[in-house]
Structure 1
Amino acid sequence: QKDRATDVLSFPLGQDGHYDTNKETGCALLGDVVISLEMAVKQADMYGHSLEREIGFLTVHSMLHLLGYDHETSPLEERKMREKEEEVLGELGISREATFTNQPEDTDA
């Protein structure tokens, strides 16, 4: 609820840990995530990592919000959320230390 450009928005469908469930899959419907690619490009450049890493971070960040994490409630909650972000990103292979590299393009030699 801030009147300024942002990098990601999360729109929760659940409340207090209760979510609707997809009848076909049994998966919980957490909500919607909207990522600003324009902001992601700027932030990837600003932080010196790949766009893929930035989008991965924003996706994990917003998913944690949908699961009830909130870094704005207290310093302790912020630390918990940051640690969970890094844990998930590490499991995905896109931690701060790791980044995607461009694959060589096929060229006619």
Structure 2
Amino acid sequence: MADVRFTNSHGSRVFVAYMRLDHDCGFCGDPWDVRGWVVLDPGETETRPNDTGNRWFYYYAEGEDGSVWAGPFPAEVRQARFDKCACLGVLQGGVNPYHEVGMRQLDLDRFGGVTFT
């Protein structure tokens, strides 16, 4: 399956977090990897690999102007760049730097990516 495409057709910069199937995360019972952030300037497109060829990809995005693209699928993100297995809790100095957001589901059998408008 091809890479997943993220395109910014929105009027301001967009920050994208995504979740993908990653069997290396299966050791903890939930084989999903959550990554962020893809930074897209207006008019920019970036791709990310779908190494497993899985049909489902999940994403959450925030625009610099306050726009949010969210859905019902929970995942943890943080402000700084990150890459973590969805099942792992993370404490730094006794505090969890992550917060939960809702991701949207992307069916890669129907769409090759997302365009933020």
- Superposition TM-score, scaled by structure 1 size: 0.25
Of structures 1 and 2, the one with the larger relative CO (CA 8 A, separation 6+) is 2
More strand by share: 2
Q: Which has the higher Rg, Structure 1 or Structure 2? A: 1
